Chains A and B, each alone.
Chain A
Amino acid sequence: MIQQAFFAYFAFAITVLALVVITRKNPIHSVAWMLLLFFHIAALYLFLNAEFLAAVQVIVYAGGILVLFLFAVLLVNVREEMRISRFIGAGAAGFTFAVGLLVVVLMALRSFIAAPPGMYTIEHIQQETNAIALGKVLYTEFLYPFEITSLILLVAIIGAIVLAKKGLRG
């Protein structure tokens, strides 16, 4: 019962915060609300016995990506932002299709059939700790994707520099 109550709170908070994030006129407010949203999502991960990912969520999203967004937001003329409409002309169509997507996927969810459970029971993970169990899978079965991901990050770093640096492209 208490678990359902906790989940109800977090689910409600996440939904509301997400709506708040995308409807703020001032982008700085959006970023601030988003920080709060990410903490709630991280808490939800803890619920699901994913401590490592909860930590990553806080560190990477809250600590890294949001700071980046904050930097970018500083470019924006907030005063002008407050003056004009926050949505584009076709925003209503966007809303329609987003709701349509929601409805269709929710309908499809009713026919979801779970696969047979795997070997990583809660006891097993607790015995091994989440980080070790994750690491074992990551560095064996997913070694190549892991290396490729590192390459993607490298390319992203170089690409970001090339794109953002003034005068590099002629």
Chain B
Amino acid sequence: MELQFYHVLIPFLPLVGFIVNILIGKEVTRYGAHWPGVLTVAGSWVCSLFTLRDVLAGHTIDADLYSWIVSGTFKVSVGFLIDPLTAVMLIVVTTCATLIHIYSIGYMHGDTGYYRFFAYLNLFTFCMLMLVMGNNFLLLYFGWEGVGLCSYFLIGYYFNKKSAADAGKKAFIVNRFGDFGFGIGVFMVFIAFGTLHYADVFGNVSSIAGQRVDFLGFTVDLPTLIALLLFCGAVGKSAQIPLHVWLPDAMEGPTPVSALIHAATMVTAGVFMVARCNPIFNLSPFAMDTVAIIGAATSLFAATIAITQNDIKRIIAYSTCSHLGLMFLACGVGAYAAGIFHLYTHAFFKALLFLAAGSVIHAVHTNDIQEMGGLKKYMPITYAVFIIAALSAAGVPGFSGFFSKDEIIWSAYASHSSVGKLVWLMGTAVAFFTPLYTFRLIFLTFHGTYRGGHHAEAHGHAVTHSAHAHPAPHTSGHGAHDAGHGSHDPGHDTHGSGHNTHAAGHGAQGSHHGEHHIHESPKIMTVPLMFLAVGAVAAGWVGIPPILGGGAHFAHFLEPVLGHPEFHGTHAEEWAVMGLSTTIALLGIGLAAFFYLRKTDLPKKLAEQFSMLYRISFRKYYVDELYHYTIVKPTLWIANSVLVAITDAKIIEGIVNGVPGAIGRFSQSLRKIQTGIVEHYGIFMAAGAVFILALLYFMR
């Protein structure tokens, strides 16, 4: 099958939306910026459905659009590879992107940077689609860096807020470390294979098996080296230990961004890349074990942090870290299909969790769950979808998260991997913590009594955008509220919010966000939530394992790309593993209910009892502090005392100021020649002509 026009449209439609909004957004589209934004992404979604149909019909397309770089033996094209893996990613990316774009219409309503937001979101979608559709490593790298750039733009979207700008920088810089390794990995692929084209690389992958190369003075196994370097990039992009620190801070961005980029799509690029490069990883058991261990460790590590956090978005961010760890765990034991399956289900329930959290933030204007509570009766839809997402994330049987998580845990148990049993234990532990922190979040947010409201004056900024005067901003019949309450402005993605500077001129009539003002979000936000909720429940039904009477269609679909891992285990064992993880998950929910519904004073007592453990978890294992003292401080010290004080002040400025000074003094003496009389210049010209002619004549 040839490349069809709708295949090409998939990535380039969002690019069109980006170009339209970035060029004329400020003047023309403005608060209608969602039209180009949403329509182009929805168009991509439709094209993706057609593409899925083609792939289901058995077509695989690998076609070049045009030659990008040709230099000697180095040839790279802009070309697309459309196979089952790509098709899955396309569906995940475009579905989530479309729903989140729609949600953003309500969430970003009235923001001054409305057009900018949609432009960046479209650019991100374009880069992400290029990443998943590219047929060579350079295009993958292009998309990889492109999504990183958009992530930076969008984390720092409220660039007037220092913490947001810092978080953007942090994400970008931390990703540099990973991408550095990834870049070298791509170079190594080129050195080893002489091409970057997937089909040529993976077709000849056996040629490098067992080769050893000299790298930085060590003789290392070539497949291991390439796999680990590529995995470096995945560690950075997918926020795994030790480069996970940027993801929680990335929550400074608007919530739709967190949902799209930092949960559903971009952060899963690392998993996608590892799965895409599975022929290389398969050659190196050591690299596979590393992937599995890092994934499992991150998963457990992030889950334990999430239990004690109080910021609603950070909890979900750590949950994302944890789930990404599970996906790497699956890839590490060779069950790539299970990893991609979890990627696929995770995209739905995690995007839903984030968007529902955004809906909550939209209503109460704070991120701190200690100031929420009892929201169940005000926000029934949000509550319902939140519960669905949490059940899915917790792995309760029947929900999509259950099938993927169970497949990962079973794969870990049954694989031939040498670390299989270890990571299985860690994964099972995660299965306990995930429901615990998720339901802690739900119970603190939606149950009990409302604990906010006493910070009302701090939220005065929320009304300052009422100057935008949007007619009937809420379609769900809350017009009456708007009068006393101003418009909703998404600047409430703040912690402690009083320092929000992007809202100019704090309204004098500081509105009171008391309990009775909390209300459900508008339909433009809740409808995408409901669609995602359907996905969170049903998306996993395509991959029901045979033991539960399903056909494991998902794994079979991906088999041509990802292969079929060999398991050793009996049906009895499979039932036992599944039963254990499910029981543990239900136990986690029960424990959360016990702590936060029944004995609400118990968590505090426990925290005091085990203050050491509590503090370690609460301070996120002091990783940020560790990096601050081992990397940031020394770097700043070198920058200030060596680079600024010596290199910059003495050497560079010495050259920069010295050269013009010398030229200036020389010119001062030359000034005397400039008499302003034309003939003097003429005489110099003639003298020069005579001199040159004489020189030519005598030097002949």
A residues neighboring B (CB under 8 Å): 88, 90, 93-94, 97-98, 100-101, 104-105, 107-108, 111
Contacts and interface: CB of A to CB of B under 8 A. Distances in A.
A27 B639 CA distance: 73
B655 interface: no
22 contacts: A90-B677, A90-B679, A90-B680, A93-B683, A94-B682, A94-B683, A97-B687, A97-B690, A98-B686, A100-B687, A100-B690, A100-B694, A101-B690, A101-B693, A104-B690, A104-B693, A104-B694, A104-B697, A107-B697, A108-B693, A108-B697, A111-B700
B23 interface: no
A105 B683 CA distance: 17
B683 A97 contact: yes
A101 B677 contact: no
A108 B689 CA distance: 14
Contacts of B689: 101
B693 A94 contact: no
Contacts of A93: 683
Given A88-B677, A93-B683, A111-B700, 5 more contacts: A88-B679, A94-B683, A97-B690, A104-B697, A108-B693
B674 to A, nearest CB: 14
B527 to A, nearest CB: 67
B677 A105 contact: no
Nearest to B696: A108
B689 to A, nearest CB: 7
B686 A105 contact: no
B37 to A, nearest CB: 52
Nearest to A94: B683
Interface SS, A side: helix
A98 B689 CA distance: 10
Interface of B: 677, 679-680, 682-683, 686-687, 689-690, 693-694, 697, 700
Nearest to B697: A108
Contacts of B687: 97, 100
Contacts of B694: 100, 104
Nearest to B688: A97
Contacts of B700: 111
A105 B689 CA distance: 11
A41 B690 CA distance: 26
Contacts of A101: 686, 689-690, 693
Contacts of B679: 88, 90, 94
Nearest to B675: A90
A107 B690 CA distance: 12
Nearest to A87: B679
Contacts of A94: 679, 682-683, 686
Contacts of A104: 690, 693-694, 697
A107 B693 CA distance: 10
A168 B689 CA distance: 39
A143 B683 CA distance: 37
A166 B679 CA distance: 27
**Which has the most chain B C-beta neighbours within 10 Å: A93, A101, A104, A108?**
A104
A111 B682 CA distance: 28
A97 B683 CA distance: 7
A111 B696 CA distance: 13
A104 B687 CA distance: 12
A105 B693 contact: yes
**Which has the most chain A C-beta neighbours within 10 Å: B682, B690, B693, B700?**
B690
A105 B686 CA distance: 13
B74 to A, nearest CB: 43
A97 B686 contact: yes
Contacts of B693: 101, 104-105, 108
Contacts of A97: 683, 686-687, 690
A106 to B, nearest CB: 11
B236 to A, nearest CB: 61
B684 to A, nearest CB: 9
B217 to A, nearest CB: 65
Nearest to A91: B679
A94 B681 CA distance: 11
Contacts of A108: 693, 697
A111 B700 CA distance: 11
A101 B686 CA distance: 8
A29 to B, nearest CB: 21
Contacts of A88: 677, 679
Nearest to A97: B686
Nearest to B700: A111
B653 to A, nearest CB: 43
A97 B677 CA distance: 17
Nearest to A89: B677
A43 B689 CA distance: 31
A54 to B, nearest CB: 30
Contacts of B690: 97, 100-101, 104
B519 to A, nearest CB: 68
A120 to B, nearest CB: 30
Contacts of A105: 693
A47 B693 CA distance: 31
A114 to B, nearest CB: 18
A101 B697 CA distance: 12
Nearest to B694: A104
Contacts of B680: 90
A100 B682 CA distance: 14
B277 to A, nearest CB: 61
4 A-B pairs with the lowest CB-CB distances in the bound complex, closest first: A97-B686, A100-B690, A104-B693, A104-B694
**Which has the most chain B C-beta neighbours within 10 Å: A97, A100, A107?**
A97
A97 B685 CA distance: 10
Contacts of B682: 94
B159 to A, nearest CB: 47
B50 to A, nearest CB: 57
